[in-house]
Amino acid sequence: MNRRSLLVSGLALLAVGGVGVSLWAASRFPPDTTPEGAYLRIAFNLARGDARTCFAYLEDRAQHAAYSIREYRQKASERITATYPEPERTRLVEAYRTHATAEDGADVWVDLATKRGWIGRLRRDLSGIAKVEIVGERATVETARGTRYGFRKRENGIWGLSLFTAELVAEAERAARDWDIVERAAKDYERGR
């Protein structure tokens, strides 16, 4: 074998080994049907810079809120585009664009988590698990740094982080109110034509 073949073979082995180590590390977590497993997956994915995957480890109400935000912003954008006059049309469509064009709720979560500093907050506070308390459908994971994270058991058995639920639900309610205002104004614009 020449040097080039050896180099290519060596790099291929390193790549396969890296994938193997990642799979091995992920398989060493407790199952995500435990609070520890869900917490460790959040920490692992944030350490890799993958905030989108963390969406799967938010509680159901938080996930539903993110999808609702997307749905209301899509409906409002479509209605604004169809009925509003300029320059209001352009201004509002641009304001709603990120959430209205999101692929799904996970994209809404990533946008809000980035803009509101939630990802940075989690990265600063995540550390090893000191203890876990489970009471029925709720659990608290306390870290080695003393930070406490609330989890709620989801319908599918996975534990979901509840830290951002209230803010996501409030944003979904705001999007619903905005939709109502957009719809009323759109009807006024249609009557005025």
Residue pair 42/137 in contact by the 8 Å Cβ criterion: no
Q: Give the neighbor-by-neighbor strand order of the sheet with 129-135.
A: 129-135, 138-143, 148-153, 159-161
State the average pLDDT for the chain. 90
Q: What is the residue whose two structure tokens read 């209230």?
A: 166
Angle, vertex CA 166, rays to CA 135 and CA 130, nearest 5 = 40
Amino acid 125: pLDDT: 84
Amino acid 40: pLDDT: 95
Amino acid 27: pLDDT: 58
Residue 95 has pLDDT above 90, yes or no: yes
- Judge if the upstream peptide bond of residue 87 is cis by omega within 30 degrees of 0: yes
Residue pair 77/93 in contact by the 8 Å Cβ criterion: yes
Give the confidence band of 68 by pLDDT, cuts at 50, 70, 90: very high
Q: What percent of the chain has pLDDT over 70?
A: 87
Span 164-188, average pLDDT? 97
Q: Distance (Å, rounded) from C-alpha 138 to C-alpha 172?
A: 23
The model carries a pTM of 0.83
User: Could you report the per-residue pLDDT of 117-175, keeping only the tens digit for each?
Assistant: 999 989 888 888 999 999 999 999 999 989 999 999 999 999 999 999 999 999 999 99
Amino acid 128: pLDDT: 87
Span 42-53, average pLDDT? 94
Q: Which two tokens stand for residue 28?
A: 């060493």
Amino acid 22: pLDDT: 46
